[in-house]
Structure 1
Amino acid sequence: MKPSEVRDLTLDDARAKEAELSKELFSLRMRHATNQLENPVKLRLLRRDIARVKTIVAQKERGKK
C-alpha cells in the first residue's frame, strides 16, 4: 500500500485499515508458526504497511489539533 493511498483515506477509514492489517498480520503469524506460509516476506511487507498507516494516522491527528 502506497502512502498516497493512505493519505486519501479519512481518519476513521485509516484506523479501520490499520485494524484490518493487524488482523491479517496475526493470521499470517499463526500460519508462519505452523509452517503453512509459503512466502514469509509477506510478514515484513505487512508490518511496513501497518507502520505507514500508523504514521499517517498520527500525522492527521496532530494536524487536527
Structure 2
Amino acid sequence: MKMTEVRGLTADQLSDNLLELKREQFNLRFQAATGQLEKPHRVNAIRKDIARIKTQMHQAAPAASKEG
C-alpha cells in the first residue's frame, strides 16, 4: 500500500484497514513464533503499512478539528 493510496481513504476506511492489518500482524507473529512463517518479508511490509495509516490518521485529525 502506497501513501497516495492511503491519502485517498476516508477515516472509516483507515480505521478498518488498520484493524485488518493489526490482525494480520498478530497472525504473522504467531506463525513466526511457531516456525511456520512462509513470507518473512510480509512482516516488515505490514509494519510499514500500519505506520502509513497511523501517520495519515494523525495528520488528518487536526484538519478535521479545525473544520468543525
Matched AA of 2:57: V
2: CA distance between counterparts of 1:38 and 1:19?
A: 22
TM-score (norm 2): 0.90
Structure 1: which 4+ aligned runs deviate by more than 4 Å? Answer: none
Gaps of 5+ in 2: none
User: RMSD value over aligned CA atoms?
Assistant: 0.8
CA offset digits 1:8-56 (Å, max 9, x no partner): 1101110110011000000000011111012212111110110000000
Computing the radius of gyration from Cα coordinates, the structure with the larger value is: 2
Gaps of 5+ in 1: none
Identity %: 43
Matched residue, 1:14: 14
State the aligned residue count: 65
